């Protein structure tokens, strides 16, 4: 045999060239009924699908909960916060906020007792971390440590996150006005700032 025979059907013998195929017998009533039933079922399925689509469109797009995960499923709090931070583009400010929470581990306990991060400004190309110190000596010390501290912060947060540290000295005591003050005097301002 040269050709493959169908399941349960004998292979047709080869025909000489020019010979015609034998005529196919016409379908009987049972066969026509089967064909008509199949066509009617397909049409009914198509109409049912169209009606179902219209119903789903009226209900709001046909969003149905099912066994599979989708964007409407409840999330753990940490995952929900991470998704919110990513969607809003708050990655850098959130990372810097984490640094402010870990300030003593980054700069050391001694420096952290006297120097506290105040804010992070992410302007056009600024990216400045402002730190308030409680004395001029600690402000000077932090200014000397600033390049190493910027490198340490960028190592932790990503390159270029902090470009500069702005060190603020202590605020002076409240200004008192009275009989023994010279006009325009800032008081003991020579030891502050």
- Annotate 126-143 with three-state secondary structure: CCEEEEEECCHHHHHHHH
Instruction: Note the pTM of the prediction, 2 decimals.
Output: 0.47
The SS3 call for residue 68 is: coil
Predicted local distance difference test score (pLDDT) of residue 83: 85
Higher-scoring residue by pLDDT: 100, 174:
100
The SS3 call for residue 16 is: coil
Predicted local distance difference test score (pLDDT) of residue 156: 78
Predicted local distance difference test score (pLDDT) of residue 21: 61
- Using CA atoms, how far residue 84 sits from 72, 80, 81, 95, 96, in Å, is 14, 6, 5, 14, 17
The first and second tokens of residue 88, run together, are 């809003």
Write down the mean pLDDT value for the chain: 75
26 pLDDT more than 60: yes
Helix, strand, coil percent content, the chain, rounded in steps of 5: 45, 10, 45
Phi and psi dihedrals of 128, rounded to 5? -110, 130
Predicted local distance difference test score (pLDDT) of residue 20: 64
% of residues, the chain, pLDDT over 90? 1
For residue range 117-144, list pLDDT tens digits in order: 888 877 777 788 888 888 888 899 989 9
Predicted local distance difference test score (pLDDT) of residue 193: 43
For residue range 33-68, list pLDDT tens digits in order: 888 888 888 888 888 888 877 777 676 655 566 677
Higher-scoring residue by pLDDT: 110, 171:
110
Query: For 159-178, what is the mean pLDDT?
Result: 75
Contact (CB, 8 A) for 126 and 163: yes
Higher-scoring residue by pLDDT: 158, 44:
44
């Amino acid at each position: 045999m040269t050709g493959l025979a169908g399941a349960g059907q004998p292979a047709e013998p080869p025909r000489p060239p020019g010979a015609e195929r034998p005529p196919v017998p016409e379908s009987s009533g049972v066969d026509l009924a089967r064909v008509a039933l199949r066509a009617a079922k397909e049409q009914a399925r198509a109409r049912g699908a169209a009606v179902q689509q219209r119903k789903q469109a009226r209900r709001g797009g046909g969003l149905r909960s099912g066994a599979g995960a989708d964007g409407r499923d409840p999330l753990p709090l940490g995952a929900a916060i991470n998704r919110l931070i990513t969607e809003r583009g708050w990655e850098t400010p959130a990372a810097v906020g984490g640094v402010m929470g870990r300030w003593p581990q980054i700069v050391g306990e001694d420096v952290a007792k006297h120097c506290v991060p105040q804010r992070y400004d992410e302007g056009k190309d600024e990216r400045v971390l402002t730190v308030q110190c409680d004395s001029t000596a600690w402000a000077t010390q932090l200014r000397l440590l600033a390049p190493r501290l910027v490198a340490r912060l960028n190592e932790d947060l990503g390159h270029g996150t902090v470009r500069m540290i702005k060190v603020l000295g202590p605020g002076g005591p409240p200004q008192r006005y009275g009989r023994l003050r010279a006009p325009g005097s800032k008081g003991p301002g020579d030891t502050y700032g």
